[in-house]
Every structure is written in C-alpha cells, then in structure tokens.
Chains A and B, each alone.
Chain A
Amino acid sequence: MTTKLMGTPVQRVEDQRFLRGLGRYVDDVAAGQDVLHAAVLRSPHAHARILDIDVDEVLDLEGVHAVWTYDDLAGPMAEPLPLLIPHPALSHGRTQYALAKDEVNHVGEAIAFVVADDRYVAEDAVGRIKVSYDFLPAVVGIDNARAATHLVHDDVPGNVGARLEQNVGDAPTAIEKAPHRLELDLTIERSACMPMEGRGTVARWDADINRMQVWTSTQTSTGVRAAVAVKLGLDLGQVDVITPDVGGGFGVKINHPWPEELLVPLAARTLGRTVKFTEDRREHFISSAHERGQVHHVSVGFDDEGRLLGLDVEFWHDHGAYTPYGLIVPIITSTQLLGPYKPQNYRVVFESLYTNTVMVTPYRGAGRPQGCYTMERTMDAIAQYLGKDRTEVRAVNFIQPDEFPYDQGLIFQDGRELEYDSGDYPASLEKIKALIGWDDFPTFRDSMAAAGRKVGIGLACYVEGTGVGPYEGAHVHIETSGKVKVATGLTTQGQGHATVFAQLVADELGVKFEDVEVVTGDTRRMPYAVGTFASRAAVMSGSAIHLAAKRAKEKVLKIAADALEADPKDLQIVDGVVSVKGSPGTSIDLGTVSVLSNPLRYAFDEASKAATQFSVGDPGKPPVPEDEEPGLEGKDFYSPERATFASGMHAAIVETDPLTAEIRILKYAVVHDCGHLINPMIVEGQIHGGVAQGIGGALYERMVYDESGQLLNASFMDFLMPYVTEIPDGIAIDHLETPSPLNPLGIKGAGEAGVIPSAAVFAAAIEDAEGFPITAMPISPSELFELRQTRKDTP
C-alpha cells in the first residue's frame, strides 16, 4: 500500500525553482519582448483639490505613447472603483477613482498614467506633468480624525465611515456590578504587508479573437477578471487572468482591482500593444495598503478568580482615505478579540475613521493582532491586579473542550455566527507552559538579576477563524500518460500549495506524488474561485481537491472494473496502477483507464488506437454511457457552512538592557492547533514566517507620517522590516491536532496564525521585565528608554 502523504513533511516541489532563481513573476512575463511600460504620476500631497493637469510637455517626449488622466476615462472606468464588501454599518463608504477626479486624499494617489517605450522614459514623462493644486488641511492619525476639525471627505461628517456595535448580554451593567473593575487604554500603530514583489500587471489584447489576457500579481485572479470585464465593458468569457508566481501577498493583493489592474488592460486595448506596470518600492509604500492602526479603550469587570463578568471595548480604526475592503478588518478585531475566552457579557463598538493616509485593507492576521493585543493585555492587567499567575487567570476563562461547538453570540466577518467548531485550550496552555519553561522562569529571573540582567516573560492566546466561504473548486484530470493535472482557482503566493495539494491527490487517487501537477490562479483552468485570504487555501481548495479527486477515483474504478471484469469494491489503486486486491496480476494502469474513458474516432498514437470506437465498448450501447462524460476527470466544490477556528498560544522571554534599552529575544515558543496537519514542515514554515512578521510589527515596523501626511520612512532603509538577524535562532514549536468537524480532512487554516499574538506577547514580556505598563506597540529601544525616563521623572 502506498504510504499516506497527509501528515508527512514532504519537501516542497516549488523550492527547486524558487531557490535556483527560476520562479516566473509578473515582471518576467514577456520579458525581453517588445512591451510598453507604464508609470504613474502620484500625488505628492496628502489632501488637495486638483485645479489643472497640464500634460502638454509629455507627448513631445520621444518614446511616449499615451497619457491618461481622469478626463480621458469613460463609462465604468470613470466611476469610482468598487466597494468590494459593502456592509449596512458602512454608512459612508468611499472608494477612489482609477485616476484622481478633482481631489487627492493621500500622498501616492494615482493622478495620471503614462505609457512609454520603457520605464525610464515613462518616469521622465511623469516628471513633465504639471498639476496645479489647491491645498487642503490633511487629517493624519486617529486623534485628528476623531477631533474632525478638518474632514477628509466633505460629505463624511466626523470622518466616520462606519460605526458598529455588537452586544452579548449586558456588559455595562455586569461591569458595574462586578467586584473588581479595570480600565485600559491601548494603541497599536500601522505597519504593512510589504511583500518582496510589489504589485504588477501585464495585459495583452488579442484583436484577432477579441480577447484580453491579463497577468497580475494578485491573491484573486477571478476577482480581477470580473473587475476588468465590468470596467472595460467585456464579457467574462473574453477575459483571462493568469497569476504567475507571486512573491508574497500577505493580504495586500486581495484588494482589487488596483487602478493599474484596470489601466494596464485599458492601455493594452487602446494601443494594441502588450503593456506592463511593475510597481516600485516607494510606490508600494504610498499607494498600496497598510494595516493595524487602532486605539482601544477597555472596561472590564471580574471576580476574585479573575473570571470575566463583563467586557466593554470601544475602539477607533484608522482605515485611511478609502474603504474598498469594507469593514472586514475592524469586524475581525471586534469579534476575534474574544480569543479562547467566555466573556459572559460583551459589548464592542468601533468607529472606522477616514484619514488622509494610505488606505487600510487586511494584512496577515487582519485585525486579529489588535484584538488579541487588547484581550491579552486585559488578562495580564487582571492578573496583576489580583496578584495571580497570568496563566491561571486565562485558564478560568477558557471555553472548555466539552463546550464545542461554542457560539460566541456575535456575527463574524463572513456574515455568519461566530461559532467555534473545536479546540482544546487547556491542553494548549499546558503545552506552552512546558515549552517556554513558565514555571521555571522565576528561578531564571533571579539568576539573571544576580548578574545585573533584566528579563521578562509573556504569553498570549488567540483563536483564528479560518477557511471562510463562500467556496472553492477543483478540477482533477488524469491524462493518458497517467499523470494527474490538478487545477484550483485560488492563487498561490509561495505557501507551497503545489506540494500540499499534490499530497492530497496522491493519497486519494493512489498515484505517485511526483505524477501530480497543480495549477492555481489561472481562470482558463478554473474560472470559479474566490481567492487566497483568511487562511483558507488548505481548508477550501484542499477540501475541494480532495472531493474532486474522490470523484475522479470513482470514475477510474468504474472504468477499470469494466476493463478488468471485476467489482469496483475489489479494486485498489497503488502507484498509479489499478489492480484487483489479492490478485496483483489483474491490473490496468491509470493512463490506460484514461484512454478508455475517451472513446475516439481517430487514432493518432498507439494509446489512442486502443481507444477508437472499433476497439472498445459494447457495440449495443452508446460509446459514452448515459450520465457520463468523456475523459477521466473529477470536479467538485467545497462550500462550508461557516469558518473553522484554529487556535494557538505564543510565549516569549525577553531581555531588556538596563543601559541601552535594547530588547533581545531569548526564547520564543509557539503551540499551534490547526487540526490535522497536511504537511508539518510547511505549517512550521508558516509559523516561522508569521513570527518573523510579528516581531517586525512588535519591535521594528511602523508607518511614520508627519502632520502634513507625508510618509517619512517609505523605503527599506527606514521602514525597519527585520532581517533574519533580528529573528531568534530557533523557535520552539509544538502542535496540537483538534480536527475540524466542518471539512472532510479535519483541517483548519494555518497561514496567519504566526503573526497574531506578537504585539501582545512582547508587550507582556517587556512589561514583566520593566515593571511598568506597556500600552503602545510597537516599541523601540528609544521609546523604552523614554518610558523609563518618564517613570523616573514622575514621583
């Protein structure tokens, strides 16, 4: 019997290409060919009315083919970009135009689009465009947005895009009556996804067949396809969107269509040439998307054991200049904040605010890091207040293993009830305590203190709703060579989908792993799909692929049973050969089964000769049986009722330098439960990457805007994404596998988990080392030093 691949650390098939520099990204498409290149004039001002755009000097420049401003756009292209996820609470949703109409609302907003022989000339041309502005006051930061002295959009009072409140029980009354009460104010700053490959789009209009082909670096090829069709007045069937290798997404590429994803196809059709746009790093900083910036106020009531009696959270979410992705981020914050706990009574209300800064769309974790930070800092504050161990206070609030499914009584980001499907939080807590050495820490602290060194320990727990709907699909095709071609529509950004999906197919079909080839994100291969976000690829496409492979297998067994004159129940498939159990001589390989599945009129090789209508089938019956289709294929879709909830706990031991306030990570531990693991090595890789990004968000990265709305650190020199040298050498990982009952494989998502608790963990550990509250993250050595000074100065 073939060894089962599910659960084994199969080496990634992608790595050969990626590590040898053979990956093929958008900028590699049509490289070296006669392609035109686009550049964008972006607003240098955070808030201004556009009085005039003078492009007279542009077309004189040799090598310039065309320039577009808003006035050149017509029909749907002249309307605002789509508000992708409307919500009843989003009373004042606003989206940008593909090119700014009358007003710019953040530095970096697209104003004009130039197409030239190469990017050099295109940038020269951009430099020649003259724009007259009438400057308006910029609204920067949550405080200024709330003060609303100035408005981002004239018709949005108070800068409030949305206000949403959810209640479970009566939190204010419960807090009022509680024996103990605390209030906390917490802030968390902006960061961003920062994939190594920025945005990019190539388009080619084939006038001979009236067809648009678009390559774009996206997390949703079907989404971009629909947007291009709508905006350019094409039928869906005329548009192909192909996602080549994508050098990271982390959320920013789920937002769509970006202006350039429409302008490049428009230019390609207008000019009859292949057109390419490749975003540069500065553009990525000022014209894609950011996340995280929120301010929270917490009131909590609890009993002597630290048991929550009522939790009331009010927070303000800075969504930047526009809201194309709706309220997904603050809704996730407001619901996932609860983590593994039972709050008894919960009230949460948020305002989503406009500022004259880059818009906010989901970044890995998507609002969860902020919620986790607030909940876990609250748990730490309760423990501190009661003088209890921080793990004990958490334990008394856990949902217990026998309480699943557990309905939190809230509405989640997918519009469905926030109902946890499974989990075992007490078991996770035991594991994380063992892994980090929680109980031994006081001894360690004492020994370090004796050497004049300061250390602290922190932990944080989270629950993550993963694998949200609506659906994904898969197509499995067994070729006459016996090789298996698998297509699923969601895209891949380096997660290792080609490996894990092949594992599932090899297991289900009984074929060799290396005979399975997976294609993702190509609308020609699978036109029905949603996208890669919300840690959903394994759950959604994994399940769909498993189901599609099952269907293909049923067909294999039926045809093979006919050919072998056996009962399908007596057949097995091992290494691509169907045989009768117990009589291995009676066998047929999958390639031959595939030949038989497709009765032919024409023979063009030896294999097809065997499948001509004179060679196969019962002459008394139609060559293709009723209710069957030619070809050895299986197709299926997976559409779950609701999300499945992964969970985990992180802990860290840090050292803070008494003189320089440098913060060193001495140990980092992760316990992770994403149900059954398909490939533990890939899951651990996801955790490593997530932890690294989390360390970036907690200790290094921020978006530094000045009061006029200029981003002061829009480069990798000043935006401090951590290098490998800043990441601890070795992250201790332990797994717990609580299967999900919601999908056939019992899996849960794993992509985002690593980043969620970082801010909470580091704030807790630094607070523990320093002995004073840490309420604003990220934190730098300079800020820690200044906090110490403030403590010294205030008696």
Chain B
Amino acid sequence: MKPAPFDYRRPGSLPEALEALAGEPNAKVLAGGQSLVPLLSMRLAAPAMLVDINGLPGLADITVDASGVRIGALARHADVLASADVRRVQPLVSEALAHVAHATIRNRGTTVGSIVHADAAAEMPVVLSLVGGSVEVASVRGTRTIAADDLYVGPLETSLAHDEIATSAFFPALAPGAGVAFEEIARRHGDYALCGGGAVVDGDSVRVGYVSVADVPTVVDLSGVPLGELGEAALAHLEPADDIHATAAYRAQLVRVLTERVVRAAMAATSSKENPA
C-alpha cells in the first residue's frame, strides 16, 4: 500500500499551480487527500504528478453574505461545519456536513475537494445540486463558473478539464421562510450512507437530493406530491442498486422512509421559522 512513483509539486501561487497542471496531462490536484491518497496507496490511481495546492494563499476562506456561502478550495469540512454564519445562511450545508465521515477526516478533507470528486455516495456534491450552487474553476485559460446542474457528467466524473482547479464553491442562501433537513442511514456511524436524503421545502416547492441511490448526485422535484407518496414518486427517478451491504429493494425502502422523514422535517423547519418560538 505504497503509491507508485509520481512527481510532486507544491506551488506557492495559483498561476504556478495552473502552469504545472497545464504542463502535465496526467496530473492530479491534491487538497485534503482523503479520497486521493487511499487511491494512490492502493495503486488504483497512478498519476504522473501531484500538484499540492495546500500552499496556495487565500483558498481556505469561507465568505458568507446575504447572497450565500462561498467556500474556498482549501477550507476543511470541519471549519465549514464550525461556522455559525454558514449554518445561519445555508443550514443544509451544515446539516449535511455533520454526516460526512468522521472528525479526523473532516479535519483534513475539503468541501470543494469532495464536490469535484463527484462521488454519488458523498453528501456535499448532492447538496450543491440541491441548493442550486456552482463552482468557480481556474485554468491557464482563465476562470469560469460551472453550475451544479452542469457539473456532474457521470460516476465520479465532472465537467472540469484536466488542467482546471476548482477554487471555490458557492451555495446560495436559503430563501426566507424555506426549510431544510438532511438524514441518512449508514451501516456504521460515519460510513458512506446506504441511502441519504436532503430536502429543501420552499413554499410549494419540495426538492429532495439523494446519496447512494443513483450513479450521479441526483435531485428530484417532488412539488405537489402528497405526503405518503413521496418516496414512491422519487424512486421513479432513482436507481438503487445491490452491493455487498444492501439489496436494491432495501435501498428503495430507505428511499421511501427517508424521503418522507426529510420532507416532513424540512416542512417543520419552515413553519418553525415562520413562527419562531
């Protein structure tokens, strides 16, 4: 469990990092390393070069204003989770982060890194989709913004070019009066969920994002679906599959149960906002 040989760069500036990436088609960006390093150690990935961005200035910022939350590429899950401002402006980010792995992993892992790793079993990619967020990416060609809807193109695959670095992710603020909830069921505390769901309820709009029951981060619009039929309606858009931990039928059952739970909880959060106790 030792990585194959690779070149290692630790640039001191973003342009330098982008140059390095542009010069090596088989380079990978190293941020928190919580997914990449195990892949390297098991030799499931063998990039020619690692561009370690941990030395880049200014990328660890978490900026919150009325429009939403911007999370820099080097902000750790733990820092985002600890931010009261984040929780106030976009509580779904905080609710979901509490389910991301374990404290030790959250201390190193980055939220943006998790988003661009694009694992459909991870929480943050689907949260970005659910709240209609975006990522800011940079390359030697300049910068661009990719909306969450255009980000995930396949399992573990994003629309970022090989030489682009996601420098930040933006989560728009929760609309006034809207409510959110996030819940998941995992075999062990902190494991990837067997099934997870986050809900945003805003007036008549009911949207639920799912973890581990589709190939890519998937959000389903359940507006207008009566309570009690939500899960079944959602399943039409999902593809729960068998694996060694659960059958597809069991995952489908969890979709039914969790959809109902998160929607009800998000609705409750709505009313509690309208009638502060």
Contact = CB atoms under 8 A, between A and B. Distances in A.
Contacts of A786: 247, 249-250
Contacts of A124: 4-5
Among B2, B191, B192, chain A packs the most CB atoms within 10 A around the CB of B2
A660 B257 contact: yes
Contacts of A403: none
Among B43, B194, B244, chain A packs the most CB atoms within 10 A around the CB of B244
A660 B253 contact: yes
A700 B189 CA distance: 12
Interface residues of A, number: 29
Interface in B225-242: none
A785 B188 contact: no
Interface in A605-625: none
Contact of A725 (B43, B188, B192, B249): B188
Contacts of A660: 185, 253-254, 257
A35 to B, nearest CB: 15
B189 A723 contact: yes
A718 B244 contact: yes
A386 interface: no
B235 to A, nearest CB: 15
Interface string A98-131: 0000000000000000000001100110010000
A785 B245 contact: no
B190 A785 contact: no
A713 B244 contact: yes
Contacts of B244: 704, 712-713, 718
A726 interface: yes
A782 B5 contact: no
A789 B249 contact: yes
Contact of A780 (B2, B187, B190): B187
Contacts of B188: 700, 720, 722-723, 725-726
Interface in A535-585: none
A66 to B, nearest CB: 19
Contacts of B194: 781-782
A661 interface: yes
Contact of B1 (A280, A717, A723): A280
Contacts of A789: 249
B120 to A, nearest CB: 16
Given A662-B185, A726-B189, A785 B250 contact: yes
A781 B3 contact: no
Interface in B31-67: 42-43
Nearest to A789: B249
A477 B247 CA distance: 62
A453 interface: no
A281 interface: yes
A24 interface: no
Nearest to B257: A659
A282 interface: yes
Nearest to B187: A720
A120 B5 contact: yes
Nearest to B185: A660
A492 to B, nearest CB: 27
Contacts of A712: 244
B96 to A, nearest CB: 19
B153 interface: no
A720 B192 CA distance: 12
B122 to A, nearest CB: 13
A725 B189 CA distance: 6
A282 B1 contact: yes
Contacts of A723: 188-190
Interface in A235-288: 280-282
A726 B187 CA distance: 9
Among A700, A717, A725, A780, chain B packs the most CB atoms within 10 A around the CB of A780
B246 interface: yes
B130 to A, nearest CB: 22
A123 B247 contact: no
Contacts of B42: 282
B152 to A, nearest CB: 22
Contacts of B192: 717
B198 to A, nearest CB: 17
Contact of B187 (A659, A661, A700): A700
Among A123, A660, A722, A725, chain B packs the most CB atoms within 10 A around the CB of A660
A-B pairs, top 3 by smallest CB distance, nearest first, are A725-B189, A782-B246, A782-B250
Interface of B: 1-5, 42-43, 185, 187-192, 194, 244-247, 249-250, 253-254, 257
Interface of A: 119-120, 123-124, 127, 280-282, 659-662, 700, 704, 712-713, 717-718, 720, 722-723, 725-726, 780-782, 785-786, 789
Given A660-B185, A781-B187, A786-B247, 9 more contacts: A281-B1, A660-B254, A660-B257, A661-B250, A718-B244, A720-B187, A720-B245, A726-B188, A782-B246
